[in-house]
């Protein structure tokens, strides 16, 4: 089975999932992002790389933060962008989604950035759209959120330089998290020494070890000697279900406190995809403290998305 994401020369033309991508491709993204990262410190934070290109943000699921970083990334590459918030109504069925896509194609757009509540929505669009259009997955159901994973890898590399000596712990609702799934794949592809997941049993996938991780039900044991701590956001809308205890209970068992942080290596960094629920998954003083790199993740999100946008369009034979 060929990889839908790669062109005939094996280069990235869509960015849908970390799965199936080589260490070389992930490293190329990180290296390209590094050059854009320099740019953001300049007076004029723009390059004409994608001038005259049209990027369409198709957000079937609302997300001001992610959409804003994609819009800024497009703007700083001098592309024109168009944002459409499409409610996932009962009528937005498969067929009419395709009609929407084909209409936008006919308007000679160059890229779709897609966020959708259904896993595989990005793949479906990539399979059905014109050859010259690149598709970026900005989060699909519980499947993948690969641009978030790459900005996390960028942030880790910034602080820890290489992955092969690292112990990384991911804490929270692993079962439902598209962010965790993409992070685990990226960390393993980049050769991380040890990837740990820490969660109550009800929030771990069955046979989680097959993903290449070590599972812990105790945060105290899981945090021992790690270099990187990645907190997941607690989806409050799931709190009512039987799967999750109360917020207070959750914080008591799995919240990151100052005391627990001491179990990790002294120079461990603390990450979170945002927005933070202060006092639920993380103590406020840690989020704002010296080991937190949460706001650096936000900055890096723009450089990494600029890298992914420019690489995929270039490989699709379209960039100037």
**What are the start-end ranges of the E strands in the chain?**
54-59, 80-85, 111-116, 134-140, 167-171, 194-198, 214-216, 228-231, 269-271
Which residues ranging from 33 to 62 are in contact with a copy of itself (CB under 8 A)? 40, 42-46, 51-54
Residue 296, interface with a copy of itself (CB under 8 A)? yes
Q: Is 65 among the catalytic positions? A: yes
292: which DSSP letter?
Answer: B
Contact 229, 286 (CB under 8 A): no
Choice from 221, 248, 252, 278 touching a copy of itself (CB under 8 A): 278
Torsion angle, CA of 206/124/110/97, rounded to 10 degrees? Answer: -120
Least gap, CB of 37 to a copy of itself (angstroms): 10
Question: What whole-number distance in Å separates Cα of residue 106 and Cα of residue 74?
Answer: 21
Q: Is 233 among the catalytic positions? A: no
Tally of CA atoms within 13 A in the half-sphere of 94 that contains its CB? 4
- Catalytic residue, from 14, 17, 32, 66: name it: 66
Tokens 């996932």 label which residue?
88
Choice from 75, 92, 128, 291 touching a copy of itself (CB under 8 A): 75
- Catalytic residue, from 8, 41, 93, 240: name it: 93
Q: Is 13 among the catalytic positions? A: no
Q: Is 145 among the catalytic positions? A: yes
What the block records as the tokens of 58 is: 């198709």
Q: Is 167 among the catalytic positions? A: no
Choice from 106, 164, 210, 241 touching a copy of itself (CB under 8 A): 106
Pick 253 or 295: Cβ nearer a copy of itself: 295
Choice from 22, 35, 62, 64 touching a copy of itself (CB under 8 A): 64
Q: Cα-flanking dihedrals φ and ψ of residue 227, to 5°?
A: -95, -30
What would the x/- binding string for a copy of itself be over residues 119 to 158, using CB under 8 A?
----------------------------------------
Residue 221, interface with a copy of itself (CB under 8 A)? no
Residue 299, interface with a copy of itself (CB under 8 A)? yes
Least gap, CB of 128 to a copy of itself (angstroms): 12
Residue 87, interface with a copy of itself (CB under 8 A)? no
- Residues 6 or more apart whose CB falls under 8 angstroms from that of 215 comprise 196, 197, 198, 199, 204, 208, 209
**Angle, to 10 degrees, between the axis of helix 294-315 and the axis of helix 23-39?**
110
Q: CA quadruple 209, 212, 216, 221: dihedral positive or negative? A: positive
Binding residues (CB under 8 A) for a copy of itself: these are 40, 42-46, 51-54, 64-65, 68-69, 71-72, 75, 80, 82, 84, 95-96, 99, 102-108, 274-276, 278, 295-296, 298-299, 301-302, 318-320
């Amino acid at each position: 089975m060929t990889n839908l994401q790669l062109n005939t020369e094996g280069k990235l033309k869509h960015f849908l999932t970390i799965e199936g991508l080589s260490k070389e491709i992930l490293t190329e993204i990180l290296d390209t992002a590094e050059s854009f990262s320099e740019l953001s410190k300049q007076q004029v934070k723009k390059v004409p790389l994608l001038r005259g290109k049209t990027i369409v943000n198709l957000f079937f699921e609302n997300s001001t933060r992610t959409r804003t970083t994609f819009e800024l990334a497009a703007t700083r590459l001098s592309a024109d962008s168009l944002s459409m918030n499409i409610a996932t109504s009962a009528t937005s069925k498969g067929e009419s989604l395709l009609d929407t896509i084909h209409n936008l194609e006919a308007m000679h757009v160059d890229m779709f950035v897609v966020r959708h509540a259904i896993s595989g929505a990005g793949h479906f669009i990539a399979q059905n759209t014109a050859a010259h259009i690149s598709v970026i997955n900005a989060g699909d159901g519980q499947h993948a959120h690969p641009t978030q994973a790459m900005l996390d890898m960028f942030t880790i590399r910034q602080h820890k330089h290489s992955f092969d000596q690292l112990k990384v712990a991911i804490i929270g609702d692993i079962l439902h998290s598209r962010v965790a799934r993409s992070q685990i794949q990226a960390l393993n592809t980049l050769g991380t020494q040890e990837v740990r997941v820490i969660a109550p049993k009800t929030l771990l996938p069955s046979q989680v070890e097959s993903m290449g991780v070590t599972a812990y039900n105790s945060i105290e044991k899981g945090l021992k000697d790690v270099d990187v701590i990645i907190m997941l956001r607690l989806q409050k809308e799931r709190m009512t279900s039987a799967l999750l205890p109360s917020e207070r209970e959750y914080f008591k068992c799995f919240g990151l406190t100052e005391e627990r942080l001491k179990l990790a290596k002294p120079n461990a960094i603390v990450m979170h995809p945002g927005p933070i629920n202060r006092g639920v998954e993380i103590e406020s003083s840690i989020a704002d403290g010296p080991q937190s790199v949460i706001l650096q993740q936000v900055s890096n999100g723009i450089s990494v998305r600029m890298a992914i946008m420019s690489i995929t369009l270039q490989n699709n034979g379209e960039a100037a």
